[in-house]
Amino acid sequence: MTRRAAILAGFVLLLALVVWWLWPQESGSTGLLARLFTRQDVTWNAIQERGTWRVGMDPSFPPFETLDEAGEPVGYDVDLTRAIAEAWGVQAEIIPIGYDSLLDALLASRIDSIVSAYPYDPRSTRDVAFSPPYFEAGLRLVVQAGSPLTDVAGLDGATVAVEWGSMGDMVGRRLQRQAIALELAPYETPQEAVDALVNDPAVDALLIDQVSLRQAQGQGAAIVAVGAPLEANPYAIVSPLNARRLREEIANALTTLAADGTLAELEARWFGPLPDGLATP
């Protein structure tokens, strides 16, 4: 019995030493055992320890992100990033990166997230995680305010403006193949297509992306989207696949910012307010 008791006591002592070694030794530190039990997110922990959220952004797509005269990043995504960081009690660190290199920078841990008008891409979900969308940039059917047209089913016999070679052009041709007898009126730029809808009585509708639509509305064009997006293109925040806590915090922040009107304020700030009488499309 004495030998068994000695072996048991030695085992307990060894176990206590292992627990002591693995558990946090200082206030605020995280031991290996604690990480194993709590499944902590190392990316989120690093953000908290640094006091900064490192966000990759390609500042070449106004009004979402661009550089001001002093070379500082400004835009919808910049303000969104700062609003989220403020809610977390940390600073937003904007890191300019070329668009094609954003994913590589995230996978190499040079940044914590991407906030750069980045479209959801199901092919990338094996490597990174996407937040809920914060802006739908997809293709819309647009008409003048007060038009009787409410969806694509009413386009038989209509003339529809599109930007030549754009997604709107391709979708318009697809609708024609689906036996909708519409006539396409191609223009060189999105602005020319918008001007045609506003000024040419022969043009009944327009197929254009939501970004171009909001820019036109912000400049005073009394046009409105009808029906659901014909091609979805949601912008989302991208984070590491294993950053579970970070992903949850981003999703919660976006929910809060939508509910308290912050996202609507950002849209009005960077695209301009909607003309009087128009609802948000």
Q: Is the peptide bond before 63 cis (omega within 30 degrees of 0)?
A: yes
- pTM across the whole model: 0.83
Note whether 132 and 80 are same-domain residues: yes
- Residue 6 within any structural domain of the chain: no
Cα separation of 140 and 102, whole Å? 28
**3-class secondary structure, 30:** coil
258 and 218 fall within a common domain: no
Q: Examine the domain organization and report whether 130 and 144 are in the same domain.
A: no
47 and 113 in one domain?
yes
Smallest CA-to-CA distance from 77 within 66, 68, 87 is with 66
Give domain status of residue 144, yes or no.
Answer: yes
Q: d(Cα 49, Cα 200) in Å, to the nearest integer?
A: 59
Residues 265 and 219 in one domain: no
Domain membership flag for residue 29:
no
pLDDT of the chain along its 281 residues, tens only? 455 555 555 554 445 444 444 444 333 334 444 444 345 899 999 999 999 999 999 999 999 999 999 999 999 999 999 999 999 999 999 999 999 999 999 999 999 999 999 999 999 999 999 999 999 999 999 999 999 999 999 999 999 999 999 999 999 999 999 999 999 999 999 999 999 999 999 999 999 999 999 999 999 999 999 999 999 999 999 999 999 999 999 999 999 999 999 999 999 999 999 887 666 54
Burial zone of 272 (CB within 10 Å; 0-12 exposed, 13-18 middle, 19+ buried): middle
Provide the domain count of the chain: 2
CATH of the domain at 118: 3.40.190.10
Please indicate, yes or no, whether residues 85 and 148 belong to a single structural domain of this protein.
no
